[in-house]
Amino acid sequence: MAKLILVPTPIGNLSDISERAVESLRSCDLILCEDTRHSKKLVQHLGVSTHLRSFHMHNEHQVLPAILDSIKNNESTCLISDAGTPGISDPGFLLVRACIEADIEVSCLPGPTAFVPALVLSGLPSDRFCFEGFLPHKKGRQSKLKLLSDEPRTMVFYESPHRLVKSLSQMAEFFGSERRASISREISKVHEETLRGTLSELKDHFEKTKPKGEFVLVVSGKA
């Protein structure tokens, strides 16, 4: 049966993957993944022998027609990312949209994603929030921050260790240095850590302590 299944994979601890996710990976005809070398380690650990095919932000437009054809030929296909839920700051949107337009069944399993635990751990209001993912690296970055400076909801961002201090500094400039925030890193891994304080305090901390790992930055909305 022609079907696409989005399968979340662990963001840290391999035990976080569900039995349903493992069964889906074992029973499908093809697994689409960002990096076959990275995902090969995961599927071997899980005892999955399904064929892997590369599908990432640099080739998704080119390979999309061929993948659609294979799914239409009754090939049950799973899509995974390097970590977490596909489509959340990872490839997936284009394929899901194309499958829907082609009347191909799509399902998404519940599972790991980094921003939910970071939001809950922040201690900031979580009943209403906006997920912004990664800020633009250059063009449109300051315009985006200026627009978000009046956002009343709690804001969630992903950030790399290389740009963390820059982001904290710019947010302090646009949002105010005393705006409350929380930073979680290495969620579900051995060195998991959450720090809370003002944007200014967090910036000072990471200017003295070199950022390491993957970061989720949660910032309170405008009062």
Mean pLDDT of the chain: 95
Computed on alpha carbons and rounded to an integer, the radius of gyration of the chain in Å comes to: 19
pLDDT at 151: 98
Domain 3-108 CATH assignment equals 3.90.1300.10? no
Q: Which residue, among 143, 178, 159, 174, has the nearest Cα to 218 in the 3D structure?
A: 159
pLDDT at 121: 97
Angle, helices 199-208 vs 164-175, to 10°: value is 160
- pTM higher than 0.85, yes or no? yes
What residue segments make up the domains of the chain, in order of their start? 3-108, 115-219
Per-residue pLDDT tens digits for 121-180: 999 999 999 999 999 988 999 999 999 999 999 999 999 999 999 999 999 999 999 999
CATH tag for 115-219 (out of 3.30.1330.10, 3.30.950.10, 1.10.730.10, 3.40.309.10): 3.30.950.10
Can you name the residues that pair with 52 across neighbouring β-strands? 31
CA–CA separation, 79 vs 70, rounded Å?
13
Q: 67 falls in which pLDDT band (50, 70, 90)?
A: very high
